[in-house]
């Protein structure tokens, strides 16, 4: 497929030669836009009950997802389930906008939030596999805006940056980013930020510092970061709706508005300005394509060698999630933008994310080639339980209660 996309790039450039003979040549953004027109979407998706087959009790889960979408805390929800490597279930629930009650469809575009970090890790692994990126090279040897206390960027490797080992206190300067700060300026000012450990010696989750990866990867690929991702990952995987930036969301014909409860929230571009950390968006079908590729189902684009580089754990982390989910997982670790942890005797991989008005999650079990992606346009945290309910169903657990919701507060 990568050869096909390369051929399409060449064809697109050739086709544009005449058009731009008397003008400036097209830039890589124009080429990517043209390449999107070559991607054909499959209209036949398993979104109806007679198409749901497998070990998982899809009918029961469908009822639970529908009930969840009706909650006052929710607006819309989209879920896709891959069982034994195949897409077996995909469906939308609720609405894209409570003011209009337009329903969520399989084409509705949502934000990935911090699941975007998995893309940065995969692109870094891809370029490393091709010999274009040295993951052990210190960050300071790239032209980035990142400055750490005591010049630690000269000791911090790119691999350590991607595995969240900057040593900074958690989410350093995120509030300033949300207040409109320029991420490049904020990265340079991290030199004055407090440390929680020696850089390279512990896990410390970041967004602004992590996004120095977008600067490094753009240099290595000789493309803007979004276009490098599109050309090397999204388009070869057939992910036509996948994009970056606010315009990538609002330019879609069908996109989910952010909500807090029943209130529609204004869009905020803060985390779009750190694309490697939280800038991606797509519809649920394309999100499932990313899941399948991450599980090893698309070796033509993401071979096992690339998956191993990206997903292998580099550092221990604190338990993830909160409440009952926090108690249910253990041995959490972080790779290159990828989390892994134990749940019910299974080693799971993935990531979750949250920005104002949107949430997303991607979790899979490589041993069973089964996983889940879900996106919703509200700030409610309970749908993070969805993957665990699905995996419990696959593993025939009869005591799973993750989606048994309190009906008192509607």
Q: Which residues contact 38 (CB under 8 A, 6 or more apart)?
A: 8
pLDDT value, residue 43:
67
Tokens 């050739």 belong to 14
DSSP helix/strand/coil, 94: strand
137-160 tens-digit pLDDT: 999 999 999 999 999 999 999 999
**Average pLDDT across the chain, whole number:** 92
> Would the pLDDT of 110 be above 70?
yes
Average pLDDT over residues 241-262: 97
* pLDDT at residue number 32: 72
Least reliable range by pLDDT among 6-20, 342-356, 390-404:
6-20
Q: Which residues contact 83 (CB under 8 A, 6 or more apart)?
A: 54, 55, 56, 89, 369, 370, 394
Contact 337, 117 (CB under 8 A): yes
Measured CA to CA, the distance from residue 315 to residue 302 in angstroms comes to 23
Which residues have CB under 8 Å from 396's CB, separation 6+?
55
Angle, CA of 12, 15 and 16, to the nearest 5°: 85
Is the pLDDT at 109 greater than 80, yes or no? yes
Give CA angle at 245 (242, 248), nearest 5°.
Answer: 50
Say if residue 24's pLDDT is above 80. no
- In the chain, the percentage of residues whose pLDDT exceeds 70 is 89
List beta partners, residue 349.
Answer: 340, 364
pLDDT digits (tens, 9 = 90+) for 25-51: 456 776 677 766 666 666 689 999 999
Q: Helices then strands (H, E): number in the chain?
A: 15, 14
Report pLDDT for 1: 47
Does residue 372 contact residue 294 with C-beta atoms inside 8 Å?
no
pLDDT value at residue 214: 98
Query: How far is residue 360's CA from residue 346's CA, in Å, rounded to a whole number?
Result: 21
How do residues 267-319 score in pLDDT, each as one tens digit? 999 999 999 999 999 999 999 999 999 999 999 999 999 999 999 999 999 99
What would the mean pLDDT of 190-198 be, rounded to a whole number? Answer: 96
Paired tokens of 64: 């639970």
pLDDT of residue 405: 84
Rounded CA separation 142/74 (Å): 43
The mean pLDDT value for 12-23 works out to: 45
């Amino acid at each position: 497929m990568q050869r096909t996309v390369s051929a399409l790039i060449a064809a697109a450039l050739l086709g544009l030669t005449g058009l731009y003979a008397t003008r400036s040549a097209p830039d890589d953004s124009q080429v990517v836009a043209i390449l999107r027109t070559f991607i054909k979407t499959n209209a036949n998706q398993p979104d109806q009950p007679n198409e749901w087959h497998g070990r998982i009790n899809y009918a029961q889960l469908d009822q639970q997802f529908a009930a969840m979408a009706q909650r006052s805390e929710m607006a819309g929800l989209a879920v896709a389930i891959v069982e034994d490597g195949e897409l077996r279930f995909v469906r939308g629930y609720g609405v894209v906008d409570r003011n209009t009650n337009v329903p969520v469809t399989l084409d509705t575009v949502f934000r990935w939030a911090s699941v975007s970090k998995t893309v940065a890790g995969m692109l870094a692994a891809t370029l490393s596999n091709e010999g274009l990126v040295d993951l052990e090279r210190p960050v300071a040897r790239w032209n980035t805006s990142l400055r750490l206390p005591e010049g630690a960027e000269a000791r911090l490797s790119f691999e350590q940056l991607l595995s969240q080992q900057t040593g900074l206190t958690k989410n350093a300067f995120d509030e300033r980013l949300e207040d409109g700060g320029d991420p490049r300026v904020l990265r340079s000012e991290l030199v004055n930020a407090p440390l929680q450990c020696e850089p390279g010696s512990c896990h410390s989750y970041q967004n602004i510092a992590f996004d120095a990866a977008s600067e490094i990867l753009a240099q290595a690929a000789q493309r803007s970061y979004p276009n490098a991702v599109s050309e090397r990952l999204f388009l070869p995987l057939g992910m036509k709706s996948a994009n970056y930036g606010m315009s990538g969301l609002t330019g879609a014909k069908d996109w989910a508005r952010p909500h807090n409860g029943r209130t529609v929230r204004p869009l905020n571009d803060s985390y779009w300005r750190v694309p490697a950390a939280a800038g991606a968006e797509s519809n649920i079908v394309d999100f499932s394509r990313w899941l399948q590729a991450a599980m090893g189902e698309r070796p033509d684009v993401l071979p096992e060698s690339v998956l191993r580089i990206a997903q292998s754990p580099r550092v221990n982390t604190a338990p993830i999630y909160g409440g009952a989910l926090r108690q249910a997982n253990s041995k959490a670790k972080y790779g290159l933008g990828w989390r892994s942890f134990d749940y019910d005797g299974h080693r799971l991989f993935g990531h979750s994310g949250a920005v104002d008005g949107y949430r997303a999650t991607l979790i899979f079990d490589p041993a069973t080639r089964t996983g889940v992606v879900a996106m919703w346009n509200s700030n409610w945290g309970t749908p993070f339980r969805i993957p665990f309910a699905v995996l419990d169903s696959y593993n025939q657990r009869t005591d799973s209660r993750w989606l048994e919701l309190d009906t008192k507060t509607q």
